[in-house]
Amino acid sequence: MNYKLMHKHIHVADILIDEAACAIVKTGTVYHLEHLPVGSLDGKGHIDRAALNEWWRGRAIPASRQGIQEASVRCMWTYRKTF
């Protein structure tokens, strides 16, 4: 599914996440390179997807966290209701 990588209210980049694998599989347009997570660029100034995924794993909420399923359902319901 396509997502926007955000830094607070700043649209940093477009990313494609494989929801089954919980991994970023593709990066699209980068809008604000300076707002990418620290260490997510390679030596040539391109996004290092492996490093970005490592950062992502540290940020993601584990599926085993108590109440996450209920929160997910509520969020999806709210999201769908807005469209």
Distance of CA 15 to the CA centre of its chain: 7
Given this model, what pLDDT does residue 56 score?
Answer: 87
Helices and strands (H, E) in the chain, number of each type: 2, 3
Take residue 46 and report the two structure tokens written for it: 């391109």
Given this model, what pLDDT does residue 80 score?
Answer: 44
Helical H runs in the chain? 49-59, 68-81
Which residue ranges in the chain fall short of pLDDT 70?
A: 60-83
pTM of the model: 0.67
